Amino acid sequence: MLALLVFLPIAAFVAILFGAPARLTAIGAAAINLVLGLAAVFSWQNSGLWSSSLKVLDKPALHLSFGFMDGMSVIMVLLSVIVTMAAVLSGKSPEGREKLYFSSSLLISAGAIGAFAAKDLFFFYAFHELALIPTFLMIGILGRGDRRTAAWKITIYLGLGSIILLAGLVWLANLTGTYNIPDMIANKALVPAGAQKGIAALLIVGFGTLVSLFPFHSWAAPAYASAPAPVAMLHAGVLKKFGLYGLLRLAIPLAPEGLQAWLTPLLVLLLGNILWVGWVTISQKRLDLMLGNSSVMHMGYIFLAIAALVAFPENPLARSAAIVLMFAHGVSIALLFGLADRIERNTGTLDLQDLGGLAKSAPGLAFLFGIAAMASIGLPGLANFSGEVLVFISAFAGYDGTSPLGPVQIACILSVWGVVISAVYMLRAFRNIFQGPTVKITASAADLTLADRIPALLLIVTLFAVGLYPNLLLNLLK
């Protein structure tokens, strides 16, 4: 049954190519997958078992097996189906491009779900690469602004990152003697300490480039600013979490000593995400570039949780914190990009200096964007708050309160400034867009219709559900 979650979007992709109504087919496939994803979560929670396999060739290395290895893969698949549903409902294709627009969105979703559910290393990597192809094409063909430069930049960066990552994965597979991820982890004693430092470096740079870890981040903001809304929602919200998932899934259990050797450089880099990119975000004059940089900035907090787990391997809270914040950020950034697309469609611009007073003509849009902004800042009651608080607590979980502060605790204290930075740029954006005197382009702007509000409400309900009751996710991680 789990394989259906992967292959249903692919089947819908093929159906659209052969003439099926693009938007209707995409919405139908996404809705079915949302139901299947929720059913899979409840089934796994009750029985702990949810898997399926497909023999591709009669060779162990090509035995395509899908399964929830633990609660982390459950949560990432759930994130994928929720954001996919919102993305296809939010999307409005350029005239004559509906087939490419919706079929590519489905292929990105299929690749993400396949990567999170694959138990074989080959398909773990291959499904992610499958999702990148329509991402590149959608930005280059259907994007806006300097779309070709943005498409080439993301292609080069993520291509190089994937090659570096592949070297690390092949090295691990050769040492453990298998491509099956659970078997690799069972054979972790076969990975010598001497090799772990090199493997960890490859995985940090490879996965880090895919996640936009500083200083490998400069592809992200231009790509998201140029991308059609579903691509920005799916990549920033879901696909970018592949790198974080990979570090937790492979690097932490298979190269723990190697990661500890690189702990201090990793802390410096994640502070680059939070503080340097945060200041860059404040300086942005367009909403799309601001959101793109904001997405990069918030990756630093998830890396902080990963660093805490590296420093204190017996600290299960750090792993839970990383996963909860991955989920929360995925939902909130997808919501922000979806609403930003509505602002641009209604006003014709995302330039913060050209907007103002939009709340008077579009109060519904202002209300929903306000919730999204508060989620991104980390307002209590919303999912991002739960994730960030867990990250900060986990960074001090191994501290006895009397000894000098360690590097993780120092990085955590410095990273708190990022909360202030987030509040500055988000509140400034809300003020510039929705408050103040109405300008010509906002005076006649339409508010959201009921159909427009459905995808936003799906994401907002998810943010409140996890924010008010984080055990919805934490119980899956027990």
Mean pLDDT, range 343-366, rounded to an integer: 88
**How far is 470 from 348, CA to CA, in rounded Å?**
38
pLDDT per residue as tens digits for the range 152-187: 999 999 999 999 999 999 999 999 988 888 889 999
Residue 20 is predicted with a pLDDT of 87
Specify whether the backbone of 177 is left (phi greater than 0), alpha (psi in -120 to 50) or beta.
left
Q: Is the pLDDT of residue 59 over 70?
A: no
Q: Is 351 part of a structural domain of the chain?
A: yes
> pLDDT-derived band of residue 51, with 50, 70 and 90 as boundaries?
low
> pLDDT-derived band of residue 64, with 50, 70 and 90 as boundaries?
low
Find the domain containing 399 and state its range: 265-478
Produce one character per residue of 315-332: b if its CB has 16 or more CB atoms within 10 Å, e if not. Answer: bebbbbbbbbbbbbbbbb
**Higher local confidence (pLDDT), 96 or 270:** 270
pLDDT per residue as tens digits for the range 194-221: 899 999 999 999 999 999 999 999 999 9
Mean pLDDT computed over every residue of the chain: 89
What is the DSSP-derived secondary structure letter of residue 351?
B
Question: Model's pTM, two decimal places?
Answer: 0.93
The helix (run of H) or strand (run of E) holding residue 304 is helix 287-311
Instruction: Give the position of tokens 């394989």.
Output: 3
Q: Is 398 part of a structural domain of the chain?
A: yes
Sign of CA dihedral 52, 254, 177, 245: positive
Residue 47 is predicted with a pLDDT of 65
Produce one character per residue of 188-211: b if its CB has 16 or more CB atoms within 10 Å, e if not. Answer: eeebeeebbeebbbbbbbbbbbbb
First-to-final CA distance of the chain: 23
**Higher local confidence (pLDDT), 401 or 426:** 426
Contact (CB, 8 A) for 177 and 254: no
Among 60-64, 251-255, 348-352, the range of highest mean pLDDT: 251-255
Q: Which residues contact 435 (CB under 8 A, 6 or more apart)?
A: 356, 357, 359
How many domains, in total, are found in the chain? 1
pLDDT per residue as tens digits for the range 420-469: 999 999 999 999 999 888 777 877 777 888 888 999 999 999 999 999 99
Angle subtended at Cα 362 by Cα 359 and Cα 368, rounded to the nearest 5 degrees: 80
Burial of residue 393 (CB within 10 Å: 0-12, 13-18, 19+) is middle
Give percent of the chain with pLDDT exceeding 70.
Answer: 94
**How far is 53 from 1, CA to CA, in rounded Å?**
9
Q: Is 419 part of a structural domain of the chain?
A: yes
Which residue type does 260 have? Answer: Q
Contact (CB, 8 A) for 110 and 13: yes
Can you tell me whether residue 469 is helix, strand or coil?
A: coil
Mean pLDDT, range 230-248, rounded to an integer: 94
**What does residue 97 show for φ and ψ, rounded to 5 degrees?**
-120, 15
Q: Is the pLDDT of residue 50 over 60?
A: no
Q: Retrieve residue 337's tokens.
A: 């990009």
Q: Is 439 part of a structural domain of the chain?
A: yes
**What does residue 445 show for φ and ψ, rounded to 5 degrees?**
-70, 140
Q: Is 305 part of a structural domain of the chain?
A: yes
Tell me the C-alpha to C-alpha distance, in Å, between residue 430 and each of 131, 354, 424. 33, 13, 10
Residue 324 is predicted with a pLDDT of 96
**How far is 65 from 42, CA to CA, in rounded Å?**
20
pLDDT per residue as tens digits for the range 410-422: 999 999 999 999 9
> pLDDT-derived band of residue 48, with 50, 70 and 90 as boundaries?
low
Residue 57 is predicted with a pLDDT of 44
Q: Is 119 part of a structural domain of the chain?
A: no
Q: Which of 454, 263, 298, 286 is nearest to 391 (CA)?
A: 298
R_g over Cα of the chain: 21
Residue 58 is predicted with a pLDDT of 42
Residue 71 is predicted with a pLDDT of 85
**How far is 241 from 221, CA to CA, in rounded Å?**
16
Can you tell me whether residue 400 is helix, strand or coil?
A: coil
Q: Is the pLDDT of residue 54 over 80?
A: no
Q: Is 361 part of a structural domain of the chain?
A: yes
Q: Which of 168, 195, 346 is nearest to 261 (CA)?
A: 195
Q: Is 224 part of a structural domain of the chain?
A: no
